[in-house]
Amino acid sequence: MTPPRDRAAGRRSNDRPSRPPNLQRRSQLAGEAAAAVAEVESALTVDPDPVAAAFFDVDNTVMQGASIFHLARGLHRREFFTTRDILGAAWKQAYFRIVGVEDPEHVADARASALAFIAGHTVSELESLGEEIFDESMAHRIWPGTRALAQLHLDQGQRVWLVTAAPIEIATIIARRLGLTGALGTVAEHVDGVYTGELVGEMLHGSAKAVAVQQLAERFGLDLARCSAYSDSYNDLPMLSIVGDPCAINPDTRLREHARREGWRIRDYRTGRKAARATMLTAALAGAAAGTVAAGTAIRRRLG
C-alpha cells in the first residue's frame, strides 16, 4: 500500500508543469483594453451646444415641496430663529397669497421681518448649515423624472440652470449636487461676509425670472428659441413664454390649462391624490413659507 505522502507526490508528478506568465502579452492586453475604453468614452462624448440651454424652477418642479420650507425647518431645529419669528412673518406672507391682495406696504413689512432673521449672521454659517440640511431633508425629495429631464439636456451638451425665488445659497447647493451648470436665486446683501438685512433688488419671482434668463442668454450668447424652461407655477409664465420649448412640470390648475391651450409639454410625476391637493395647498402654505424665508435666507452671489 502506497504511503499517503507517496500518493501525493505521484499526483504532483502527473500534473502539467505550470507555465510562467507571459508578462509581455498581459501588458499588451492591458494597453489594448485601456485604449478601447478611451475610444468608447470618446464616442460617447457629446459636443457642447453653445446656444441651447435649459432653465428649471425648483419648488415642486425639481423638488417635492418648497426648498425654502425645508431650509427654514432645518434652521429652526438648529435654533437659528424662534417659532414666533417664523410664524409671524409666514402669516403676513400667507395673507396676501391666499387672499390675493398684495398690498405694497404689507409686502414690504413681511420682507423686512424675514430679513431681520438673518441680519448679523455670516454667509459661511448659512452655507454650512445649508449643506447639512440638503443632505437630511432635500436630497430624497428630488423628483426622479425631472432629474432625468435635466440630465437629458446635459447629455445633449447643453447647460442647465436652476431659476428660483429660493435663496441663491440653497439653489447653488442643489445645482451642484445634481451636477448642473449653476443657479439663479434671490440675493441678500452682505458686507464683509455678514448679512445686512437687505435684499439686492427684489425676490427672483415671476417676471424677475424672465429678466434673469434673458440677461443670462445675452451674457452667454444663448438662442432662447432653442432653449427650454420647466416650472409648476402659472407665476412663471413669463419665463416659460420666452423660450422655444416650455414644459409644465406638476402644474397648478392655471398653468395646466394654459399649457394645454398652447400645446406645451406637460409632465406630472405626482400620484392622483398628491396632484389634487397640490393646487390648494402648495400656493397657500408652502408658497407662503417660501416667500417669507426666501427673503431672509438668500446669499449675495455674483455670476462667475
C-alpha cell at 133: 440640511
Tally Cβ neighbours within 10 Å of residue 210: 20
> What sign has the CA pseudo-torsion 173, 176, 179, 183?
positive
Backbone angles phi, psi at 27, to 5 degrees: -65, -40
C-alpha cell at 27: 501588458
Biggest distance spanned by C-alpha atoms of the chain: 109
Tally Cβ neighbours within 10 Å of residue 131: 15
C-alpha–C-alpha distance, residues 134 and 126, integer Å: 12
Rounded to 5°, angle at Cα 291 from 216 and 128:
75
Query: Shortest CA distance to 246 belongs to which of 268, 262, 223?
Result: 262
Helices and strands counted in the chain (H then E): 13, 8
Helix (H, G, I), strand (E, B) or coil at 231: strand
Report the DSSP pairing between strands 228-231 and 245-249.
Answer: parallel
Catalytic residue list contains 245: no
The catalytic residue among 6, 49, 59, 85 is: 59
Catalytic residue list contains 59: yes
The catalytic residue among 47, 57, 85, 192 is: 57
Backbone angles phi, psi at 232, to 5 degrees: -100, -10
C-alpha–C-alpha distance, residues 259 and 264, integer Å: 5
C-alpha–C-alpha distance, residues 138 and 132, integer Å: 10
Annotated catalytic residues are 57, 59
